[in-house]
A and B are shown apart, each in its own frame.
Chain A
Amino acid sequence: MEKRKMLTGNYAAAHGARLARVEVVPVYPITPQTHIMEKMAAFVESGELDAEFVPVESEHSAMAVAIAAQATGARTFTASSAQGLVYMHENLFVASGLRLPVVMAMVNRTIGPPTTICPDLGDSLDQRDTGWIQIYTESAQEAHDMIIQAYRVGEDERVLLPVGICFEGMIISHYMEPVEILDQEKVDLFLPPYRPEHVILDPDRPMSVHQLVLDDSYYTEYRYQQQVAMEAAKGVIREVDEVFGEAFGRRYGGLISTEMMEDAEVALLTLGSMASTARAVVNQLRKDEGIPIGLVKLRVFRPFPDAELRESLSNLKAVAVLERDVSIGAGGAVYLELAHCLRKRHDSPLLTNYIIGLGGRDVTFEEIKDIALNLFEERDAEVMTNPIRWYQVRGL
């Protein structure tokens, strides 16, 4: 039986990993680690989870252990954040390149300086080229559910890629709210054990992996396989969302989820926790002011859901991308990709980009409403002037 309990995002994620029956949990236990690993350690200690808990001396090593463990056929889980995640960067390529479906909770926090412990999506978005699937969640419940789904997606033989489940530090990691903890028996039916055939370190079946490829014999093909897997992941994510919905009665919509988009003229596009407040704003503007506005929540950043986004946004007049991150010298990471995806089409909407909520600065209902109303006013402009907007910067 599912039971609902008050949990923080961190604990909800840990419960997800427990229900996935992870077998190895490598962890760098010091800052910027999260409570997730504290809870995992407690699960292992109490016997609720039969797993190897491996404390190591750095995040780089944590990922190295995760790679090695997953390569032996063990389902592996780890978590990191901020500077720790950045420190893993090199090994993230290895996990993906070896096609090892490690799952990691990426708790989004700023990369210093200035050091804070507050949310910012820059740490995981910075990992976009490593070949990891990246899924952004907006609540403790979604984090819990998606950790479980992540294993099924990553371990699918059409995919075989590592998955990062991202949620914002403090705003999700430390908020405590009612979470339905899934039933173990149902999870076991939903998620069969990991039985890899492609890469397996087994003395009875010697295999060479991660070797030098000194000529140009197959590097390109190797990479293209990853690209194909990423493309395939789109379908698998949708599929898993459906199966999950059937099993547990909750669906998230696959790569993106939309709200009031059918007759919308303008839309807000965001990801993570900001989607909650944006949803409330859209509902209110629709109900009280009759503004034809919709919401697109980007759930998956890698693979980037270009087809879905084109379909949802093409006929709109204007879209504002609200994001808690920035690629310094360009704009928000999501905006840049979206602009590319909607390029050169006669029906493309006008795009604006709001850099907002950096370092955990509160993003209030009123601020999002202001952005939405502004967008609605601008919807018929010839061209968006100054499309990248640092909304909360004082002095602008």
Chain B
Amino acid sequence: MTQSKALGPDPLKLYTYMELPIGATAIGIPPERRKTGLWRYMRPSFQEMVPPCLEGCPLGNWIDRFISGVDNKELDKAWWALRLENPFPGVCGRVCYHPCQESCNRKDMDGAISIQAMERYLADHFFDKKSKPLRPRKRQGKKTAVVGSGPAGLSCAYFLALMGYDATVFEAQTEPGGMMGQVIPIYRLPKEVLSRDLENIRAAGVEIRTNTPIGKGLTLSGLQQAGYQALFISVGAPLSRRLDVEGVASDGVYWGVEFLREVNSGRSIGLNGDVVVIGGGNVAIDVALTALRLGAGSVRLASLESRAEMPAHLWEQDDALEEGVSFHNGWAPKRILAENGSVVGIELKSCTSVFDKDGRFAPVYDEAVTKTLKAEAVIMAIGQATDLSFLEGSNIRVDPGETIRVDPETMQTTVTGIFAGGDIIDQPRSVSEAIGSGKRAAIAMDHYLRGDNLRKIVQKGSLARTMREHLGLDGNAVSRSRKTATLDDLNLGYCSSLTPHQPRKLSPVDRVGNFKEIKTVMSLEEVNEEAMRCLSCGVCRMCGNCYLFCPDGAVQLDSSTGRYAIDYDYCKGCGICRNECPAGAIMIEAEGEG
């Protein structure tokens, strides 16, 4: 506590009436001499919790920090925090299925914070601005290689570059980006947005060599011999999973991923009659909406699963329904009907259940119950498949599902120094999951390259999952527990109900027959209001309530950390700071315990 400068009498001193300061009475014993800390039964301390959005984010985005940056009108700081953890803010701001919002504590109050729209806003805001690349660490003088330039590979390369490594990405195709460029329809992800994110990744120091497949000529071991000391494999699952039913070879039968890739590459596919899409996932929805844009007369979507069981996200299903796609749930393809080698329809059989009692995929059909849909094209979008032929001759272990086996913490394959991530390993196939695996691998590769004992680090539970933890960039002197903050941990007295802003969408009418981006960007005002709605669950937002309310002036700003700190010489443990902390970032326990 700083020395009190206030003038006033000291009750411990027996003044004469002439010596007693006139009029001043307020301070009593100078506060610095009143060691009220001795009164304490309870001990408060700053102890942050994990906000549920962070818990939900597969790539470890620094959500609380970029929201508080927006809230403080410090967009540069928000953008810095975002780029530190995500090389693809433009992409994720559009296509991520935002599990952060699903777990937002505010969801059941008045609606989740539109975190994704905020991320998109930042990416769009800085779209034309040259941002100085982040250089959190000096050059390490070591070479690393990444095979495949999808979100996982580029993520891994980006973070390796941030950590000072030379990162070279080998891409077989002519354009980098993997599924993001080739498959995701441009009405969800315009090409220039991806290009912009790629530009930033290159600016960070990543070298991308396109048209350079790994396998026949240049092999993994060849890369190692060429001095790349750690490798990351992320060739994805670029193929459609095939299904062998009668008539599948007919003209007018397409495969989902390949179909989307054709469309994105600009080759024209003429569709004008009735189209049936088989599949219940997000790719099936992309296929259905793309088919409509290509001129299909009608699009019907048949899936084994009921509406509730469909893996496609609800809002994607809603988009499809809005645009006129009809759903046929509980049906499986029995055979494709063809005349003169061309599709005329499809016969479906009833699927009575999809999963067994343990939740495993085990469809049961009733072959007797069938229906036939007329179709001029059938597009099969029942899943993706990997192509592991390039691994021939290596010791990398492959699992039965045709995925590469990795340690789930370090992403290291069965071969030391070779890591893998993205759709090639067994994890949910999404852009954010892929970016997350690339980042985790980059962190493990850093340890590997520095000669650390990875296994020990994992055993100790000290393997970081984010850049800010790994590089100690949190700038946060506050300790954080692993507990996720719930509504019960917060003081909602400081929160008033506010109508959420959500990104607007083009009306279904305006979407027909074009590939214009469906979702529009929010205004700065809307984004600021969204940031204001954030409850900052479990994370100190420097609101200063603890400082304001502390009756003993025992909460002070520590200039060395820029954070509030409690002076236990004076804290008498009243608990007011804890009660008045809106964010639940202060805990209290009995003195002498914990």
Which residues of A are interface residues toward B (Cβ below 8 A)?
113-115, 393-396
Contact = CB atoms under 8 A, between A and B. Distances in A.
A393 B17 contact: yes
A386 to B, nearest CB: 16
Given A115-B25, A395-B18, 12 more contacts: A113-B25, A114-B25, A393-B17, A394-B14, A394-B15, A394-B16, A394-B17, A395-B15, A395-B16, A395-B17, A395-B19, A396-B17
Contacts of B14: 394
Nearest to B17: A395
Contacts of B25: 113-115
Nearest to B19: A395
Contacts of B16: 394-395
A394 B20 CA distance: 10
14 contacts: A113-B25, A114-B25, A115-B25, A393-B17, A394-B14, A394-B15, A394-B16, A394-B17, A395-B15, A395-B16, A395-B17, A395-B18, A395-B19, A396-B17
Interface string B221-253: 000000000000000000000000000000000
Task: Give 7 closest A-B pairs by Cβ, nearest first.
Answer: A395-B16, A114-B25, A394-B16, A395-B17, A395-B18, A113-B25, A393-B17
A393 B18 CA distance: 10
Contacts of A394: 14-17
Contacts of A114: 25
Contacts of A395: 15-19
In the complex, which range does the number of interface residues on chain B fall in?
under 10
Nearest to A113: B25
Nearest to B23: A113
A395 B15 CA distance: 8
Contacts, number: 14
A396 B15 CA distance: 11
Interface string B7-28: 0000000111111000001000
Nearest to A390: B17
Contacts of A113: 25
Nearest to A396: B17
Contacts of B15: 394-395
Nearest to B15: A394
Contacts of B18: 395
B180 to A, nearest CB: 64
A395 to B, nearest CB: 3
A362 to B, nearest CB: 14
A196 B19 CA distance: 57
Contacts of B17: 393-396
A394 B19 CA distance: 10
A115 B16 CA distance: 20
B98 to A, nearest CB: 49
A393 B15 CA distance: 10
B26 to A, nearest CB: 8
A113 B25 CA distance: 8
A379 to B, nearest CB: 29
A393 B17 CA distance: 7
A102 to B, nearest CB: 34
B541 to A, nearest CB: 33
A115 B18 CA distance: 20
B19 to A, nearest CB: 7
A395 B13 CA distance: 13
Contacts of A396: 17
A393 B14 CA distance: 11
A394 B15 CA distance: 7
A56 B19 CA distance: 43
Interface string B494-506: 0000000000000
A64 to B, nearest CB: 32
A115 B28 CA distance: 11
A394 B9 CA distance: 14
Contacts of A393: 17
A185 B380 CA distance: 98
Interface string B409-425: 00000000000000000
Interface in B10-60: 14-19, 25
Contacts of A115: 25
A292 B17 CA distance: 35
A113 B28 CA distance: 13
Interface in B467-522: none
B451 to A, nearest CB: 68
A290 B33 CA distance: 51
A393 B19 CA distance: 12
A393 B16 CA distance: 7
A273 to B, nearest CB: 24
A303 B409 CA distance: 90
Most buried by B among A115, A393, A395: A395
A115 B14 CA distance: 18
B107 to A, nearest CB: 40
A396 B18 CA distance: 9
Nearest to A393: B17
A14 B17 CA distance: 39
A332 B18 CA distance: 22
A396 B14 CA distance: 13
Interface in B442-468: none
Interface in B49-103: none
B23 to A, nearest CB: 8
Most buried by A among B15, B17, B19: B17
Nearest to B18: A395
A114 B16 CA distance: 17
A394 B18 CA distance: 9
A121 to B, nearest CB: 21
A115 B27 CA distance: 12
A182 to B, nearest CB: 42
A293 to B, nearest CB: 30
B142 to A, nearest CB: 70
A113 B9 CA distance: 13
A115 to B, nearest CB: 8
A300 B14 CA distance: 36
Nearest to B14: A394
Contacts of B19: 395
B243 to A, nearest CB: 77
A396 B16 CA distance: 8
A148 to B, nearest CB: 40
Nearest to B9: A114
Nearest to B28: A114
A329 to B, nearest CB: 16
Most buried by A among B14, B19, B25: B25
B408 to A, nearest CB: 60
B477 to A, nearest CB: 38
Interface string B157-197: 00000000000000000000000000000000000000000
A113 B16 CA distance: 18
Nearest to A112: B25
B13 to A, nearest CB: 11
A312 B35 CA distance: 55
B551 to A, nearest CB: 15
A394 B17 CA distance: 6
Nearest to B25: A114
A394 B14 CA distance: 8
A114 B9 CA distance: 11
A193 B16 CA distance: 55
A95 to B, nearest CB: 33
A392 to B, nearest CB: 11
B370 to A, nearest CB: 77
B255 to A, nearest CB: 76
B8 to A, nearest CB: 10
